[in-house]
């Protein structure tokens, strides 16, 4: 919208406005006379009612009123026209800057800002989505590493205590006939955990975000690192248990020989004592295995919590950076309706939330467009929305004017 190019001749304005006062006085006098006569007629009608004579008088007054109106109009037109022209001159300079005018330069520029703000908001959301994706990936990576280590440690502990139980069983179940064989077996027990056997410890992992290749790489990496720790642990335990078992062999042989020479009653007593020691050793091994499992679980849960806390902190830091760099925008919802069923949904929603509280006259004056605006306002203030396939809430983004 452009300002008018024709300049107002202010000497013409001055001379025209000089007539304003006498014209206003004449028009006011004419109005006063007409109004006085009209009031007199109304008073008569309200007091006496209508009659043919009164009707004739009113008709005469109406004819004269139309003439008076035209006289007033003709006398004031040159003055009001120049005032309108002056007003138009000012508004033509204001309208291009007026945000309330849809076609103003202000709004054309604002439209470009809104488009840019929408693009930037889309970019911001994409960055946030990527940060959340990375956070979820890292969270899963942490979880899978912990799960892999937990699974391998559990499998290892079962193997370790199975070997411990095997050595204990060799000694406790030895007889005079098998003593030499047991001694040979104990001496032949390997105290090193074979690498190939450790790699065969099962470690099933299931992922949502990571590829099968990366999941396999995690399992292999955890297995490789744990082997250094657990193979040393295995050797240390087996070395001690093997030597203790070998050291027990002389006393075990003496016990077996005493049982062989003892009376039936004494032999039974010795066997019961041996069985009791066997059960105590089995119970001890079970308790040690359970305690080790608890220690491993506590350690892994602590590591997992620390890893997830760091991951969450990193994500929050990145989110804060994105939010700081984002353009300042005003976001609101605008409803798009695809068919008349959507209009019906808007009517019902409005009625339930607002219309039911209104009186009949007020509600009957509401148009569907007014209802739609009210429903949009509800969405923007309370987040309550219509759930209907024909009603779509579209985010409307506008750039904020920073002062």
For residue 103, with 0-12 CB atoms within 10 Å meaning exposed, 13-18 middle and 19 or more buried, which class applies? exposed
Per the structure block, which two tokens stand in for 51?
Answer: 């009659």
- Distance, in Å, from the CA atom of 7 to the CA atom of 367, rounded to the nearest integer, reads 44
At 28, is the secondary structure helix, strand, or coil? helix
Please count the other Cβ atoms lying within 10 Å of the Cβ belonging to residue 258: 12
Predicted model pTM: 0.64
Place of tokens 């009625």: 351
Pairing of strands 391-399, 329-337: antiparallel
Query: What is the distance between the alpha carbons of residues 148 and 154, in angstroms, rounded to a whole number?
Result: 10
**What is d(CA 233, CA 239) in angstroms, rounded to the nearest whole number?**
10
d(CA 380, CA 376): 6
Strand partners, 397: 331
List of long-range contacts for 64-71, beta carbons under 8 Å, 24+ apart: 64/34, 65/34, 65/38, 68/30, 68/31, 68/34, 71/30
> Per-residue pLDDT for 99 more than 60?
yes
Query: For residue 176, which of 127, 115, 249 has the smallest C-alpha distance?
Result: 249
In the chain, where the domains are located: 10-97, 125-325, 329-399
As to burial, measured by CB atoms within 10 angstroms (0-12 exposed, 13-18 middle, 19+ buried), residue 124 is middle
% of the chain beyond a pLDDT of 90? 56
Query: Whole-angstrom Cα distance, residue 296 to residue 230?
Result: 12
Length of the chain: 403
- The rounded distance, in Å, linking the Cα atoms of 362 and 266 is 107
- Residues 283 and 165: their CA atoms lie apart, in Å, by 10
Rounded CA separation 51/350 (Å)? 53
Structure confidence at residue 4 as a pLDDT band (50, 70, 90): very low
Does the pLDDT value for residue 3 go beyond 70? no
pLDDT score recorded for residue 2: 47
**Residue-wise pLDDT tens digits, 345-394:** 999 999 999 999 999 999 999 999 999 999 999 999 999 999 999 999 99
What is the tens place of the pLDDT at every residue in 177-205? Answer: 998 999 999 999 888 999 999 988 888 89
Closest to 13 (Cα-Cα) out of 72, 73, 84, 70: 84
What would the two tokens of residue 378 be? 């509800």
- H or E, element range at 400: none
Q: In degrees, to the nearest 5, what angle opens at C-alpha 120 toward C-alphas 115 and 126?
A: 130
Lookup: tokens for 401: 């004017």
Q: What is the mean pLDDT of the chain?
A: 89
Q: Which two tokens stand for residue 236?
A: 């240390």
Q: How far apart are CA 15 and CA 238, in angstroms?
A: 120
């Amino acid at each position: 919208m452009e300002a008018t190019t024709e300049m107002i001749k202010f000497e013409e304005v001055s001379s025209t406005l000089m007539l304003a006062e006498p014209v206003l006085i004449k028009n006011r006098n004419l109005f006063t006379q007409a109004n006085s006569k009209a009031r007199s007629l109304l008073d008569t009608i309200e007091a006496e009612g209508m009659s043919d004579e009164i009707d004739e008088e009113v008709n005469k007054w109406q004819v004269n009123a139309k003439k008076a109106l035209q006289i007033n109009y003709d006398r004031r037109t040159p003055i009001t026209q120049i005032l309108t022209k002056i007003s138009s001159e000012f508004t033509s300079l204001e309208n291009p800057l007026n945000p309330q005018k849809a076609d103003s330069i202000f709004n054309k520029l604002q439209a470009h800002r809104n488009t840019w703000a929408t693009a930037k908001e889309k970019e911001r959301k994409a960055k946030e989505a990527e940060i959340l994706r990375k956070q979820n990936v890292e969270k899963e990576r942490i979880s899978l590493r912990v799960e892999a280590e937990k699974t391998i440690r559990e499998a290892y502990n079962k193997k370790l205590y199975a070997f411990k139980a095997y050595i204990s069983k060799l000694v406790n179940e030895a007889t005079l006939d098998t003593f030499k064989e047991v001694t040979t077996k104990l001496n032949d027990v390997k105290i090193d955990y074979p690498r190939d056997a450790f790699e065969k410890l099962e470690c099933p992992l299931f992922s949502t975000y990571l590829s099968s290749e990366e999941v396999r790489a995690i399992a292999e990496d955890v297995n490789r690192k744990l082997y250094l720790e657990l193979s040393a642990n295995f050797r240390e335990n087996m070395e001690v248990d093997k030597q203790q078992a070998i050291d027990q062999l002389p006393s075990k042989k003496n016990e077996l020989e005493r049982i062989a020479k003892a009376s039936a009653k004494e032999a039974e007593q010795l066997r019961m004592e041996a069985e009791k020691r066997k059960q105590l050793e089995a119970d001890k091994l079970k308790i040690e295995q359970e305690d080790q499992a608890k220690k491993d679980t506590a350690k892994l849960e602590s590591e997992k919590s620390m890893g997830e806390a760091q991951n969450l902190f990193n994500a929050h830091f990145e989110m804060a950076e994105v939010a700081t760099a984002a353009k300042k925008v005003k976001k609101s919802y605008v409803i798009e309706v695809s068919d008349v069923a959507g209009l019906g949904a808007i009517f019902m929603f409005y009625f339930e939330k607002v219309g039911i509280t209104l009186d009949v006259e007020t509600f009957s004056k509401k148009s569907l467009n007014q209802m739609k605006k009210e429903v949009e306002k509800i969405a923007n203030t309370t987040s309550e929305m219509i759930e209907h396939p024909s009603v779509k809430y579209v985010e409307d983004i506008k750039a904020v004017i920073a002062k």
